[in-house]
Chain A
Amino acid sequence: MIDIQRLINRRKRQDLFFNFLGIACTLVGIITLLALMGDLAYSGLTRIDWQFLTSYPSSSAEKAGVLPALVGSLLLMFITVSLAVPLGVAAGVYLEEYSRKNWLTTVIEINIANLAGVPSIIYGLMALSLLVYQFHLGRTLVVGGITLALLILPIVIVSTREALRAIPNGIREAAYALGATRWQVIKDHLLPYSAGGIATGTIIAMSRAIGETAPLITIGVPLFISVLPDSPFQSTAPFVNFDWLTAKFTVLPIQMFNWVSRPDPAFHRNAAAAGLVLITLTLSLNAVAIVIRYRLRKKIKW
C-alpha cells in the first residue's frame, strides 16, 4: 500500500515538475517579447508624436521622421500580399486537390520546402539580376513587392495545404456524392473552410516580410527620399492610378538600421521609436487578419 502511495507521489512530483518546466519555457518567449517592447518603449515612446509620423528623414534627429518609410512599408505590404496570396493559395490547392502523386509533384514539393529555407538575401540577388538588370524594372515598389512576395510564397503554399488537409475527407466525399465537380467542391466548401488557416499563414508570412531588410538593401532601396509615391487613389476617373508602382521607396527597417548606425545618440532614440512604429504596424496588420479569420471561422459548423 505504502509503495503504491509513494509511486503515485513520485509520478505526481514528475507531473508538477514538468508543469513548471513548461511554464518556464513559455515565459522565456513572453519575457523576451515584453523586455523588447519595454526597452523600445522606454527609449522611443516619448519620441513618437505627430511630427515624427509626418516628417521626412533629416540630418537633425529632432526634425527627422518616418513618413516615407511608413508609407513605403504599407504600400510594399499591399503589393506583397496581393501577389503572394492568390499565387500561393492556387498553388496549394493544386498540389493538395488536383495533382497526382508522381515524380513531378514530388520534385515540386521538395522545391517548395527548400525554397522556404533559402536565405532572404538570395531573393534579393535574384531580384537584382533578374528584375532590375534583365527586365529593367528599376529599384521600385513593384520590384520590392515581387521580391517579398516570392520570399513568402512558400509559407503561404504550405499553410494552404495544411489548412486543406485539416478538412475531413467526409466533406469532400459528401459533396462529390451530390454530384459536385471538383471546382465546386473547392469553391463552395474547401476554400471557405480553410480560409482561417490560410489567413493564419498569411499573417505569419506578412510579419516576416514587413521586417525584411536584406533583400531590399540588395536591390538598392535608397535611404533618403524627398517625395512620397503618388497616391493609389485619385479624385478623377478612373480613380485609381498605378504610377506608385514604379515609384522609389524606402521602408521602416532600413530607416531604423540607418538611425541605429549613426554616431549621434539622439538618432538611437529615433531608431527605437521607429521600431515601435514597426511593431505597432505589424500587430495592427495581424489584428485585422485575426478579425477576418474569426469571422470566417464563425460561419463554419461541422
Chain B
Amino acid sequence: MFSRPDFSRLTQIALATVITVVAPGLPARSAPPAKSDSSKAQIVSGDNLKSLKGAIEIDGSSTVYLVSEAAAEAFKDATKSGVNITVGIAGTGGGFNRFCKGELDIADASRPISKKEIDAAKANKVEYIELPIAFDAITVAVHKSNKLNSIKVSELKKMWEPAAQGKITKWNQVNPAWPNEKLKLFGAGTDSGTFDYFTEAINGKSKSSRTDYSPSEDDNTIVQGVSGTKTALGFLPFGYYEQNKDKIKGLAIEWDEKKTGPVEPTMANVLAAKYNPLTRPLFIYVNRKSADRPEVKAFVEFYIKNAAIFVSKAHYAALPETAYGRIMERFTKLQIGTGYNGQSEIGMAIDEILNREPK
C-alpha cells in the first residue's frame, strides 16, 4: 500500500505550486504546431451509443494520460453519452497496482507490464489485453550548419549527466575531435515526460541531469533556440522534430554500449524500434472482464480506431494504419496476456511486438 503514492509526483506538486506562485510571468506563448482536430474522430460501431451508460475508470502513466484524455474527451463529444470516464495520473506503476487488483478498466502504461505485476494480476484473477498505441521518441538536434551527423550515447551522457554541471562547457571537452566552441544546451523542462525519459535513457536515472541548460516546457522554444544558435545541442520530442526538420538537424544515435547504430531519427526507424535507446512504446491495458461491458468495448474500439489523431495531438509517433488494424483485431478477438514476459525490452519493432503471441 505504501508503494502507491508517487513521491516524485508529490515533489512536483510542491514545485509546481511554488512555480505558479513565484514565477514572475510565464514563458512566451506561441501556438504549438498544427493540431489534428479531435472532432474528426469517428465512431466505430453505429449502435445506439447515446444509450450507453456506466463508468470507465482509467489510471496510470501521465505520458499516456495525454492520449487517453484526448480519447475520453472525443468519445464524450462524439457519442453524447452519459458514460462517466475518469482518467488519473498515478504513474505507470501506480496504475498497474490498481489495475492488477481489478480496480481499473484500463491502465495507461509507458512500459510493458512487469513480472511482479503479472503475478499480482494472476493472484487476483485479473486478465488483460495488451494494446500498444504509440511510440514515444526523443530526437537530439543541432544547428543546421553543424558538421556533426551522429552522436554516441556515452557522449550525450558526458554532456548531460549531473557531474557535467559547470564543467563541460565546450564541444571539445566531450570529444577532442570536436571544435573548441561553446556548448549551448537546450532541453525539455523538468516537469515534462520527455525530460524524465531522456534522463532515464541517457543518464540511467529519471530526472537526474545537469541543471545549467536552457529548459523549456514549450518544445517550440527548443526549436527556436537550436535553430538560432550555431553551437547549440538540444533534445525534443520526435513529433516536434518531424515538423521542424527544415529548421534543425537531427543527429543519428550510436548506442555504443549495445554496439548499435548510428541510427537516423526517421519515422521508419522509430517504428522499427531501431532508434534506440530513445524510443519506447506506449500501451493501454484493458481488463478482460471490463471488455465485455458495452461502454468499455465501444470506448476502446473508438480509441484504437482514432488513435493516430489522439497520439499526434500529444506529440508522440503514431503507428501505421496496418498496425492499428492488427491491434483492433487483438482487441476484438480478446487476446489476453502480454507479449513481453515481464521485461521491458528495448528495440522491438511494432510488427515484432504484434507478432508475438500474447501469453
Contact = CB atoms under 8 A, between A and B. Distances in A.
Interface stretch (B80-88, B136-144, B160-168, B262-270): B80-88
B123 interface: no
Interface string A120-140: 010011001100010000000
A223 B219 contact: no
B177 interface: no
A128 B3 CA distance: 12
A265 interface: yes
B176 interface: no
Contact of A263 (B23, B58, B194): B194
A225 B86 contact: yes
A269 interface: yes
Contact of B28 (A39, A128, A265): A265
B16 A59 contact: no
A274 to B, nearest CB: 9
Nearest to A32: B21
A121 B27 contact: no
Nearest to A225: B86
Interface stretch (B65-73, B145-153, B249-257): B65-73
A268 B191 CA distance: 12
Contact of A59 (B30, B70, B188): B70
A213 interface: yes
Nearest to B1: A129
B29 A265 contact: yes
Contacts of B315: 263
Which of A227, A250, A264: most chain B Cβ within 10 A? A264
B184 interface: no
Contacts of A250: 86
B13 A257 contact: yes
Given A39-B24, A266-B31, A226 B217 contact: no
Contact of A60 (B17, B38, B191): B38
A60 to B, nearest CB: 7
A59 B73 contact: yes
B5 A222 contact: no
Given A263-B189, A272-B20, A58 B1 contact: no
Q: Determine which residue in A121, A261, A269, A275 has the highest number of CB atoms from chain B within 10 A of its CB, and name it.
A: A261
Nearest to B7: A121
Contact of A257 (B17, B70, B219, B313): B17
Contacts of A129: 1
Contacts of B94: 220
Contacts of A257: 12-13, 16-17
A260 B88 contact: no
B346 interface: no
Interface in A237-269: 248, 250, 253, 256-258, 260-266, 268-269
- The number of chain B residues touching the other chain, given as a range, is 35 or more
B19 A260 contact: yes
A226 B10 contact: no
B87 A223 contact: yes
Interface in B15-48: 16-17, 19-21, 23-32, 35, 38
A264 B313 CA distance: 11
B27 A265 contact: yes
A209 interface: no
A263 B25 contact: no
B314 interface: yes
Contacts, number: 142
Contacts of A271: 20
A17 interface: no
A262 to B, nearest CB: 7
A218 interface: yes
B87 A125 contact: no
A271 B57 CA distance: 25
B66 A269 contact: no
Contacts of A214: 10, 13
A261 B6 CA distance: 15
A265 B26 contact: yes
B84 A227 contact: yes
A154 interface: no
B289 interface: no
Contacts of B336: none
Interface in B242-285: none
A291 interface: no
Contacts of A253: 17
Q: Which of A121, A213, A224 has most B Cβ within 10 Å? A: A224
B126 interface: no
A121 B10 contact: yes
Contacts of A265: 26-30, 217-218
Given A217-B5, A268-B26, A224 B17 contact: no
A59 B310 CA distance: 9
B90 interface: yes
Nearest to B74: A59
Given A221-B88, A257-B16, 19 more contacts: A39-B25, A42-B25, A59-B66, A60-B38, A128-B1, A220-B88, A222-B86, A223-B87, A223-B89, A224-B68, A224-B86, A224-B87, A225-B84, A225-B85, A226-B85, A258-B89, A260-B191, A265-B30, A268-B217
List the 8 shortest-distance A-B pairs measured between CB atoms, nearest first: A227-B84, A224-B87, A222-B88, A222-B86, A59-B70, A261-B191, A226-B85, A260-B16
Interface of B: 1-2, 4-5, 9-10, 12-13, 16-17, 19-21, 23-32, 35, 38, 55, 57-59, 62, 65-66, 68-70, 72-73, 76, 82-90, 94, 98, 188-189, 191-192, 194, 217-219, 310, 313-315
20 contacts: A36-B21, A39-B24, A56-B73, A125-B2, A214-B13, A222-B57, A227-B55, A248-B55, A248-B86, A257-B16, A260-B191, A261-B16, A263-B189, A263-B194, A264-B32, A265-B28, A265-B30, A265-B218, A266-B32, A269-B29
Interface of A: 35-36, 39-40, 42-43, 56-60, 121, 124-125, 128-129, 133, 213-214, 217-218, 220-227, 248, 250, 253, 256-258, 260-266, 268-269, 271-272, 275
